[in-house]
Amino acid sequence: MKKRAEIAAITAALTLLVTACAPSARWEHPALDERYWSYDVNACEGKAWSEVERDVAYRHPIISAPGSWPDRSLTRDMARYDAQKRVQGLFSACMKSRGYRLVETSE
């Protein structure tokens, strides 16, 4: 049990470190103005989340039911992390299919 807590703490610390060091970036379209950007971001986020939520409910019902027995916290947390990474991938694919490109900023 103690080993799981240590692994979870190390995983959380590494995730925080990687995201803190990641360069800033934003999605830009060469031909569209800012009015369309928020519409496209919302549409792509909604599409990505709905697909992943449907998949998670089918494959990992333990994630959807916190506190259910047996409560495997590390398993649940890793499945959530995988789901978030999948959402990011689907979102990126959606934005690219709409003609956007990810551009690094100096923030």
User: What is the 8-class DSSP label of residue 106?
Assistant: -
Cα 32 from Cα 20, distance rounded (Å): 30
pLDDT tens-place string over residues 34-80: 888 889 999 999 999 988 888 777 665 555 555 554 556 777 778 77
Residue-wise pLDDT tens digits, 78-102: 877 888 899 999 999 999 999 999 9
Indicate the domain borders of the chain.
2-104
- Any residues with CB less than 8 A from the CB of 24 and at least 6 apart, and which? 104, 105, 106, 107
